[in-house]
Amino acid sequence: MLNASRVLSRRSKVLRAIDLQGMIDEFGSNAIRELDYSGEAYNAFRLAKLMETVPGVRIPRVFTALSTNRVLTMEFVRGVKISDLQAIDAAGLDRQRLAHTTLRAIVKQLLIDGFFHADPHPGNILVNLDTGEITFIDTGMVGELEFGQRVDIIQLLVSVQQSDVRGMAVVLKSLSTPFVSHVDEKAYLKDFERTVGAVLYMGGSSDFGQAVSLGMELLRKHGLRLDANLTLAVKALLQAQEIASDLYPSGGLVQDGVQIVREEAVQAVTAERIVDEAKMQIMDAARGLGSNLPTLSEATQKWIQQYGKGRFELYLDTSALSQDVEELGNIAERLIVVVMLVGILIGSAVATTGIGLAGYEGEFWHWITQVAILSYVFSTLAAVLIAVRLLWRWIRGSPDAD
C-alpha cells in the first residue's frame, strides 16, 4: 500500500494534497505498533493512572513479568458489552449512571488529560453485572491531543450545545489544515450553515453525531482535513455519544459533556498540580537554554573583542542560499545541453536534406553529408537517453523531475 501510494501521489496533485502517503503511513504505523504488546501494556498502565480518579472505571491490570512484546498477560475481566441492554436491565443496573460514568471517563481522557482510548466501541467497554463497574479493554490504539486542540474540541461541544452553527464551523476550520492552494472561506461558511444548520434546527443538540459527520464531509469538500489524532478524537467522541444515547436517550455527550468538563477541570487545576507543572516547564526551559549557551568565558571574550573593534559583527549563514544557487546553475547547464542538442538535431537534418536536394557532388560534400548524418544520429541518441533518464526520475519521484 505504501509503494502504491508513492507511485499514485507522484502522478496526482490531488493525492499529494490530501497526503495519501501520510495517511497510509499512519495507518501502517498504528497497525505495526498494535502488534507490539509492550506498547499496549504501557498504554494500559498510563490509562489506569489517569482513570484512578473516576469512580466505577478501571483498566485491566497487566502482569509484566508474564508479558513480552509478543505475549500480553492481563487479569481476567468479567462483564458484558455495554450495548447489551437486556443483560444490564436484567441485572438491575442504572442505565443513566452507566452512561454518565462512561461519558466522564471518555471526556476526561480526551479533553482533560489529552491521552485517550482511540477505539471505545461497545466491544471494548465491558460492564460487570455484579458491581456495575466499567472496564476499558484493548488499549492498543490510543491518541494524544495538545492543550489547544482540547480547548477547541470543548468549544465545539459548547457550540453544538448552544446550536451555534457558525461557531461550530469556525472551530472545525481552526482544527483543520488545507490540502488545496486556496480555500473559499465564505463558501465554506455558507455551505456549513445551510447543511449543518438544518440538522441542528430539526434535531437539536441530540443530533451531535450527524452534525459533526456532516461538518467533516464539508471540510473535505472545501479542501480541509483534520490530522490523524484529531480524527481519532472525533471518532471517539461519536462512539461515546452513541453509547450514551443507547443507554440513556434523554442524556448524551452534548447535554452532559460540557458539565463534566467543568467538574473535571476544577479537579485538575489544583495548586499542587500548577506548581508541579511550573517546575517541569522551568526545568525543561533551563535544560534547553543551557545546552545552547556558550560558556561565560567564551561569551565575555567575544564581547570584549567586538567592543575593542568599535563594532559588533553579524554573521549570516548562506549555506542554504548557496545550495539554491548551485541548483539553479545545474538547471541552466542542463538547459544549455538540451538547446545545443536540439540545434544539432535540426541543423544536421537541414544540412543533409539541403545537400541532397541541391545535388552537390564531390568528396568535400560527401564528407559534410557524413558529418551531418553522424551528428543527427548522435543528437537523436543523446535526446533519447535524456528523455529516458527524465522519465525514470519522474517514475521514482525525484524532485528534479518537476
Q: Please report the DSSP string for 162-231 in residue order.
A: TT-HHHHHHHHHHTEEESSS---HHHHHHHHHHHHHHHHHHHGGGGHHHHHHHHHHHHHHTTEEE-HHHH
Phi-psi region of 331 (alpha: psi -120 to 50; beta: other; left: phi over 0): alpha
Which of 34-48, 154-168, 187-201, 355-369 comes out lowest in average pLDDT? 355-369
* Residues 379, 265 share a domain: no
Instruction: Give the separation between CA 61 and CA 325, rounded to whole angstroms.
Output: 60
Tell me, yes or no, if the pTM score tops 0.75: no
The pLDDT value recorded for residue 213 is 86
Tell me the pLDDT tens digit for each residue of 14-49: 777 667 787 788 778 877 877 889 999 999 999 999
Where does a domain end: 228, 254, 269?
269
Report the range out of 70-84, 328-342, 349-363 with the highest average pLDDT: 70-84
* Residues 222, 88 share a domain: yes
Q: Which residue has the higher pLDDT, 264 or 297?
A: 264
The pLDDT value recorded for residue 364 is 74
Euclidean distance between the first and the last CA atom of the chain, given in angstroms as a whole number: 24
* Residues 354, 258 share a domain: no
The pLDDT value recorded for residue 43 is 94
How does the average pLDDT of the chain come out, rounded? 80
Q: What is the mean pLDDT of residues 200-206?
A: 67
* β-bridge pairing 57-58 and 134-136: parallel
Domain count for the chain: 2
Tell me the pLDDT tens digit for each residue of 359-383: 667 777 777 778 878 887 888 888 7
Instruction: Give the separation between CA 223 and CA 196, rounded to whole angstroms.
Output: 18
Report the range out of 33-37, 146-150, 159-163 with the highest average pLDDT: 146-150
* Residues 60, 163 share a domain: yes
* Residues 207, 73 share a domain: yes
| Grid cell locating 257 | 459533556
Tell me the pLDDT tens digit for each residue of 42-87: 999 999 999 999 999 999 999 999 999 899 999 999 999 999 999 9
pLDDT band per the 50, 70, 90 thresholds, residue 345: confident
Establish if 65 belongs to a structural domain. yes
* Residues 229, 137 share a domain: yes
HSE (CB half, 13 Å, CA atoms) of 167?
A: 14
Q: What is the mean pLDDT of residues 297-322?
A: 57
Instruction: Give the separation between CA 165 and CA 171, rounded to whole angstroms.
Output: 10
* Residues 347, 257 share a domain: no
Q: What is the mean pLDDT of residues 282-294?
A: 57
The 3-state secondary structure of 312-344, one letter per residue: CCCCCCCHHHHHHHHHHHHHHHHHHHHHHHHHH
Establish if 285 belongs to a structural domain. no
| Grid cell locating 194 | 445551510
Establish if 179 belongs to a structural domain. yes
* Residues 265, 323 share a domain: no
Instruction: Give the separation between CA 69 and CA 193, rounded to whole angstroms.
Output: 49
Establish if 145 belongs to a structural domain. yes
**Of 42, 280, 264, whose CA–CA distance to 150 is shortest?**
264
The pLDDT value recorded for residue 271 is 46
Establish if 351 belongs to a structural domain. yes
Where does a domain end: 229, 245, 269?
269
Q: Which residue has the higher pLDDT, 391 or 328?
A: 391
Q: What is the mean pLDDT of residues 90-105?
A: 93
Establish if 293 belongs to a structural domain. no
Quick check: helix, strand or coil at residue 112? Answer: helix
Establish if 292 belongs to a structural domain. no
C-alpha dist (Å) from residue 360 to 346, 350, 369, 372: 20, 14, 10, 14
Tell me the pLDDT tens digit for each residue of 107-126: 999 989 999 999 999 999 99
* Residues 338, 262 share a domain: no
Range of the domain at 331: 319-401
The pLDDT value recorded for residue 309 is 57
Where does a domain end: 243, 269, 295?
269
**Of 9, 15, 354, whose CA–CA distance to 179 is shortest?**
15
**Of 65, 82, 83, whose CA–CA distance to 74 is shortest?**
65
Q: What percent of the chain has pLDDT over 90?
A: 27
| Grid cell locating 299 | 561569551
* Residues 355, 219 share a domain: no
The pLDDT value recorded for residue 10 is 83
Establish if 20 belongs to a structural domain. no
**Of 50, 40, 46, 56, whose CA–CA distance to 109 is shortest?**
50
The pLDDT value recorded for residue 306 is 57
The pLDDT value recorded for residue 87 is 95
Is the pLDDT score of 352 beyond 90?
no
Q: What are phi and psi of 306, to 5 degrees?
A: -70, -35
Dihedral, CA of residue 176, residue 177, residue 183 and residue 189, to nearest 10: 10
